[in-house]
Amino acid sequence: MAERKVIGKPVRKVDGIPLATGQPVFTLDVDLPGAAVGKVLRSPHAHAEIVRIDTSRAEELPGVLCVLHHGNVPRIPYTTAGQGWPEPSPYDSFLFDRKVRFVGDRVAAVAAESEEIADEALRLIEVEYRVLPAVLDPEGATAPGAPVIHDEEDARGIHDPQRNIAAAIDIRVGEIERGFSEADVVVETTCEFPYVQHVPLEPHCVIAYLDEEDRLVIRTSTQVPFHVRRIVARALGLPLSRIRVIKPRIGGGFGTKQEIILEDVAAALALRTRRPVVMKYTREEEFVAARTRHPMKVRVKLGAKKDGKLHAIEMDVLSNTGAYGTHSLTVLSNVGSKTLPLYNKAPHIWFHGKAVYTNLPVAGAYRGYGATQGYFALEVAIDELAEKLGIDPLELRLKNHIRAGETSPIFEKIGEGREGKAQVIRSCALEECIREGAKRIGWSEKRGKRLRDGPWVHGVGMAIAMQGSGITDIDMGAATIMMNEDGTFRLLVGATDLGTGSDTILAQIAAETLGVPVEAISVYSSDTDFTPFDTGAYASSTTYVSGNAVLLAARKVREEILRVASGVLGEPPGELELRDGRVVSTRTGKGIPLAEVGHRAMYVTDQRHIIASASFVPPESPPPFAAFFAEVAVDVETGRVRVVKFVGVADCGTPIHPRLAEGQLEGAIVQGIGHALYEEMLLSKRGGVRNPNLFDYRIPTAADV
């Protein structure tokens, strides 16, 4: 195989210079003349009916352009979850509703000439509420007589609205009762996970306006521009052709921007006022009204033989979806579908659970997407099993984890919101990851030793994981590559770079295939009018799904280039190759520059650009594997906890851009440390968030890691 020139190299990010020099690349880095400011009035109650709303004083305030509420907008049910169609989340949301379901829920929205006027207008809106009993405990959500949170008749797709169950799952493999009865050792553990926030550097923000053709344009910080277009079209009763969505650079997402929570309101205000409308969440609104990780209670029961071989696994999940069921079924599914295949030696498995509504903040997509909660509980149980068996936790994992050439019945049983699809693990270096991580952390020297340093006691622990790459038969990516007359290329992709560097990675794939440097590829991404369809940036899909689309398109372009060059060089296309910006004969070494090919195709042979498009739908979801090791010190006098050393070893196949891959791994590790040691949204007895700011809600800083 020829040496790769671009793949596997730490090339400069295609957007590196604009970002580093402070160029206006983000959503709000534009200044539209006549832009109004949009603001939302939010509910002070966890559960209430709006008996009366009087907006007259607000509307009379000079500078107020319009006020929207449930009485003057269409009532159309939809989901705010930015997922592929048909959406697996229930249609339980409305632009505005006569009922509010959590502290911070929408009541009304104002468009005004300035932020100060908009804030004053919100204060002038008079609302009379009939406060209803609230469900503030997920354990009691399904109890007989519990208040029904979604009693509206026009909602769709709720599993059991009368019992507040948004989604449920029950999957069995083998005979679970028999499995536990045959086991020599049984352990059971329950783990609970609190509310945590994504805390992207850039909060949710959007600009909506009407263009010269009276079409609605939405410039937004989103992970899912094409889903934004579809969902806003439904929410406002507009044809897709009337809406264009543009995604500029994004200042972080982590899943919270896989949601339509500002775009619909901004679009409605822009349509009503016929003015550009700018909306931006405050940091407090990010905590109160954006999305969170799903709080959960996960119970894991393991049965094993004396030799450590797993024989039975039960996982029971109670997921708190909050006031709306966005991502409820798919996150619940992933708790089991992403974790249980890892330990595929157990012949008896039972995975069951439900996602329940509460009158608490709304949960949604968050990095890990259910697998995070599932793995923590599963790996805690594995450690407890190892202790009871008297086996090294590392050896227990090596004995039971899935390997190349193997499969798991869970692949076929559970998909994301539907049945899964059978697949075989094609490659797996998890054992190598485990052994390398153990060596680097000093596992054999430190495990179980309770090393002391004054009041500090040191210990080491580990966990392993597998994930997925995209959603089988649902995710899709497309790409178009056009050759310019000067031998450079334009790459059009619907894929969304949310700071991960995916634009750079896709350019690398195209450049390697076409035999040019990355600088010869100009990337245009995420504009629903001009770039091909892509489901968006989620489910660890972009490199695999969109990358394969780029690869297929680049191969088509390469064939066209060789066809045109063949007529110039007098050689059959099969004896030509692309190398260093030239088409070269493998037989004679004679060649011509790509610029000559581009010029000839445009003006001599074809009278058009060389151009090709391709799409890719993943037939399977190849999993990466990883092993993680931590050395932690605890001050036995104060209880203070300190992470001394952390080692993460990942098998991700061939990293297209090693530094970007390392950055993703390091960022995820830091977030995990934050969740374990620092982060938790605290709720009041009335359901409100008590620490909606970065003073009271602590995230890891450079000083911590």
Identity (one letter) of the amino acid at 689?
V
pLDDT computed for residue 1 by the predictor: 54
Percent of all residues in the chain with a pLDDT value above 90, rounded to a whole number: 95
Edge-to-edge order in the sheet of strand 205-210: 64-69, 106-112, 36-42, 277-280, 205-210, 216-220, 243-246
Asked if pLDDT for residue 444 goes beyond 60, the answer is: yes
pLDDT band at 703 (very low <50, low <70, confident <90, very high): confident
pLDDT-derived band at 540, boundaries 50, 70, 90: confident
269 Ramachandran zone, left/alpha/beta (phi>0; psi -120 to 50): alpha
List of domains in the chain? 16-24+471-616 (3.30.365.10), 36-132+198-289 (3.90.1170.50), 135-196+292-427 (3.30.365.10)
CA 511 to chain centre: 27
Q: What is the pLDDT of residues 631-660, one digit of tens each?
A: 999 999 999 999 999 999 999 999 999 999
CA atoms of 430 and 401, how far apart (whole Å):
8
Question: Can you tell me the distance from the alpha carbon of 397 to that of 364, in angstroms, rounded to the nearest whole number?
Answer: 31
Q: How far is Cα 525 from Cα 491, in angstroms, rounded to an integer?
A: 8
The predicted structure's pLDDT at residue 490: 98
Average pLDDT over residues 355-377: 98
- Quick one: CA dihedral 146, 147, 150, 151, positive or negative? positive
Mean pLDDT confidence for 269-273: 99
Neighbours of 394 (CB within 10 A): 20
pLDDT at 682 over 80: yes
Task: Report the range of poorest mean pLDDT among 28-37, 534-543, 655-664.
Answer: 534-543
* C-alpha distance across the termini of the chain, in Å: 40
- Average pLDDT for residues 46-63, to the nearest whole number? 99
pLDDT digits (tens, 9 = 90+) for 370-417: 999 999 999 999 999 999 999 999 999 999 999 999 999 999 999 888
pLDDT in tens, 88-140: 999 999 999 999 999 999 999 999 999 999 999 999 999 999 999 999 999 99
Q: Which residues, including other chains, have CB under 8 Å from residue 620's CB and lie 6 or more apart?
A: 421, 423, 472
- Calculate mean pLDDT across residues 574-599: 95
Per-residue model confidence as pLDDT tens digits over 183-223: 999 999 999 999 999 999 999 999 999 999 999 999 999 99
Structure tokens at 381: 């149980």
Helix 393-400 with 430-441: angle, nearest 10 deg: 170
Please name every residue paired with 521 in a beta bridge, in sequence order, or none if there are none: 489
Q: How do residues 458-511 score in pLDDT, each as one tens digit?
A: 999 999 999 999 999 889 999 999 999 999 999 999 999 989 999 999 999 999
Residue 190 is predicted with a pLDDT of 99
Q: Tell me what the mean pLDDT of segment 16-21 comes to.
A: 92
509 touches 3 (CB < 8 A): no
The answer for residues whose C-beta is within 8 angstroms of residue 42's C-beta and 6 or more apart is 103, 104, 105, 106, 107, 285, 288, 289
* Nearest-angstrom CA–CA distance, 454 and 56: 68
Residue 450 has pLDDT above 90, yes or no: no
